[in-house]
């Protein structure tokens, strides 16, 4: 039976099932799966070598084949790049590198576990849901993360996957920590430099700049991603909800609903320029501009920006370019691009930029909610393109996922309209990871959760009122109507136990009084006490026996009194 159960599980879930509880290196015991990425699986483990069993993060890297030559090459790259991880871990706001090892031809990284919450929890969901950030909050955020990136880039590494999920607000000191430096892509050595769009986590789309999709990642690719997070914080709109200019491809993010200082707006727009050559070229440059803005500008003071021509830019950078910016490696970011290869080596066999860009734009339209436009764009890719097979597979996947999302949303919407709040929450995880549908279902979930809390408070008040009147059976009835998803779950369980015990004590008290009344021949009083005992108490079977007995005696007693009276 168990074998059949395992056969029904997807391979990645089956692997996770077998990993839980496993001890690696006789030291790191896997206790929880954090999720799978393109290049590996991430787990939480406990270090059983230490008395208090501290938690750590273990990343198991995918190995695409077991050929000795491939493993030797991957082993060398693994050992080389873990040295970079050790250097990165010296920064206070980057997880510390703990260990790396190979076991049964699989490669593992062990890093510090950061207790806290992701930046996602702090960002506004929409302009209507959650508070958008103030300009000062955005500036503080940018300066904080840019200081981390400045160190990262100084080590010759580009993160490649800056997004809210990879910024953790550490519980201990409320500082932001940049995570996910720990996966090496295990690929065949002749793989193209491009990362297929359908393999990128949906949480990364929108933050990844265009050049990264064709293997031309730059240091300022991280700047683009950070700028998109800042714009999201100011507007309450996720990147894929923003439109681009049809002629220039620039992000159109500033509107009347987004009051922001012209200077800061210009800085953010410069961070997210479509062409990486027209963006800020280094983290230090952005930091200097922000510092100057804080020192010199007044509220609403316009910013005059002089955009130099590409020719003048190229002349300037050719004269002043830093070795760091020309020799930097693509970093170790989980679920992003290749690790350990120079950016120029990633361009081999790349498809035409316009075709990859078309599929990228199609994905944006799909995530933003325009399925027909997304399909039309994907279908416009010519059949001779090496992007064509990916585009066709993507269209089919989109259609299936879209239909599933629409069906599940309708089920959730019907449950919401009928007041079945718990059903809304149970349906929500079944909606595929499409930003448009996730945004719609999130609104239902939030309102359903709010309604559950309102309902909970009402039922609790009624339960307390009945308990005050010693009607514990009705109080328990109200408590059992409180949904399991309520935040008062622990309190409800406590009150259920408390009122159940009090009801049993009260029932035993009534049974005892009934017995006393019966001994004194007061069967009317005995029956009256027995009828006050609820039917759902453990002693009710005994109550039924006594009720029949005392009722008969009550009847005989009444008949005897009537005979005596007639005489």
What's the full length of the chain, in residues?
A: 567
Residues forming beta bridges with residue 24, ordered by sequence position: 28
DSSP string, 180-218: ---------TT--SPPPGGGS-TTTTTTS-GGGGGT---
**Cβ atoms 450, 456 nearer than 8 A:** no
Token output for 462: 């009624």
Alpha-carbon span 538 to 524, nearest angstrom? 24
SS3 assignment, position 60: strand
For 446, residues 6+ apart whose C-beta sits below 8 A from its C-beta are: 125, 129
Helix (H) or strand (E) holding 441: helix 435-468
Q: In the 3-class helix/strand/coil scheme, how is 383-419 assigned residue by residue?
A: CCCCCHHHHHHHHHHHHHHHHHHHHHHHHHHHHHHCC
State the pairing for strand pair 167-170/176-178. antiparallel
Alpha-carbon span 220 to 241, nearest angstrom? 22
Rg (CA), the chain: 33
Helix (H) or strand (E) holding 69: helix 68-88
Task: State yes or no: 59 annotated in a binding site.
Answer: yes
Helix (H) or strand (E) holding 374: helix 371-379
DSSP class of residue 167? E
Catalytic residue among 161, 247, 433, 524: 161
**Cβ atoms 184, 340 nearer than 8 A:** yes
Nearest to 356 by CA among 208, 185, 542, 141: 208
Alpha-carbon span 147 to 178, nearest angstrom? 11
Chain centroid offset of residue 559 CA:
76
Helix (H) or strand (E) holding 109: strand 106-112
DSSP class of residue 2? H
Give yes or no: 161 in active site: yes
Residues forming beta bridges with residue 29, ordered by sequence position: 23, 46
Alpha-carbon span 359 to 375, nearest angstrom? 9
Q: Where are the alpha helices (DSSP H) in 241-329?
A: 262-271, 283-296, 310-320, 323-327
**Cβ atoms 156, 84 nearer than 8 A:** yes
SS3 assignment, position 542: helix
Burial of 561 (0-12, 13-18, 19+ CB in 10 A): exposed
Quote the crossing angle between the two packed helices 353-368 and 371-379, to the nearest 10°.
Answer: 170
The residues carrying an active-site annotation are 161
Point out the annotated binding site for ATP: 59
């Amino acid at each position: 039976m168990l074998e059949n159960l395992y056969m029904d599980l997807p391979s990645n879930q089956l692997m996770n099932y077998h990993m839980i509880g496993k001890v690696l290196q006789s030291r790191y015991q896997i206790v929880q799966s954090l999720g799978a990425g393109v290049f590996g699986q991430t787990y939480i483990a406990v270090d059983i070598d230490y008395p208090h069993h501290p938690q750590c993060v273990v990343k198991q890297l995918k190995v695409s084949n077991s050929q000795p030559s491939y493993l030797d090459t991957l082993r060398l790259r693994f050992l080389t790049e873990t040295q970079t991880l050790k250097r990165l871990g010296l920064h206070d706001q980057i997880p510390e590198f703990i260990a790396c090892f190979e076991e049964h031809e699989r490669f593992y990284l062990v890093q510090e576990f950061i207790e806290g919450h992701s930046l996602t929890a702090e960002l506004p969901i929409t302009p209507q849901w959650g508070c958008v950030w103030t300009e000062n909050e955005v500036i503080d955020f940018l300066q904080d993360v840019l200081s981390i990136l400045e160190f990262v880039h100084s080590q010759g590494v580009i993160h490649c996957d800056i997004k809210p999920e990879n910024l953790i607000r550490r519980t201990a000191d409320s500082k932001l920590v940049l995570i996910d430096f720990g996966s090496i892509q295990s690929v065949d050595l002749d793989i193209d430099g491009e990362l297929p769009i359908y393999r990128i986590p949906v949480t990364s789309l929108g933050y990844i700049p265009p050049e990264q999709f064709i293997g031309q990642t730059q240091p300022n690719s991280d700047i683009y991603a950070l700028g998109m997070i800042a714009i999201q914080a100011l507007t309450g709109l996720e990147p894929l909800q923003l439109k681009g200019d049809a002629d220039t491809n620039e992000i159109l993010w500033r509107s009347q609903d987004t009051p922001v200082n012209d200077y800061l707006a210009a800085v953010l727009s410069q961070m997210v320029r479509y062409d990486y050559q027209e963006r800020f070229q280094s983290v230090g440059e952005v930091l200097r501009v922000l510092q100057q803005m804080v020192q010199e500008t007044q509220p609403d003071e316009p910013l005059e920006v002089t955009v130099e021509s590409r020719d003048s830019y190229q002349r300037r950078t050719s004269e002043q370019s830093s070795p760091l910016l020309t020799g930097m490696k693509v970093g170790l970011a989980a679920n992003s691009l290749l690790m350990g290869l120079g950016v120029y080596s990633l361009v081999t066999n790349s498809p035409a930029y316009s075709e990859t860009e078309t599929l990228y734009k199609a994905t944006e339209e799909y995530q933003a909610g325009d399925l027909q436009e997304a399909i039309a764009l994907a279908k416009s890719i010519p059949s001779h393109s090496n992007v064509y097979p990916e585009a066709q597979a993507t269209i089919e996947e989109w259609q299936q996922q879209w239909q599933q999302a629409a069906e599940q949303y309708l089920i959730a919407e019907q449950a919401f309209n009928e007041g079945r709040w718990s059903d809304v929450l149970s349906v929500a995880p079944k909606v595929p990871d499409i930003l448009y549908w996730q945004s719609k279902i999130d609104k239902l979930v939030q309102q359903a959760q709010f309604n559950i809390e309102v309902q909970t408070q009402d039922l609790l008040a009624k339960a307390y009122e009945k308990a005050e009147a010693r009607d514990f059976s009705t109080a328990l009835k109200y408590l059992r109507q409180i949904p399991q998803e309520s935040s008062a779950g622990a309190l409800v369980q406590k009150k259920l136990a408390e009122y159940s015990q009090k009801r049993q004590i009260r029932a035993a008290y009534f049974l005892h009084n009934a017995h006393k009344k019966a001994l004194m021949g007061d069967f009317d009083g005995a029956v009256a006490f027995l009828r006050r005992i609820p039917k759902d108490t453990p002693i009710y079977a005994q109550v039924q026996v006594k009720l029949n007995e005392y009722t008969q005696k009550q009847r005989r007693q009444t008949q005897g009194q009537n005979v005596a009276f007639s005489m």
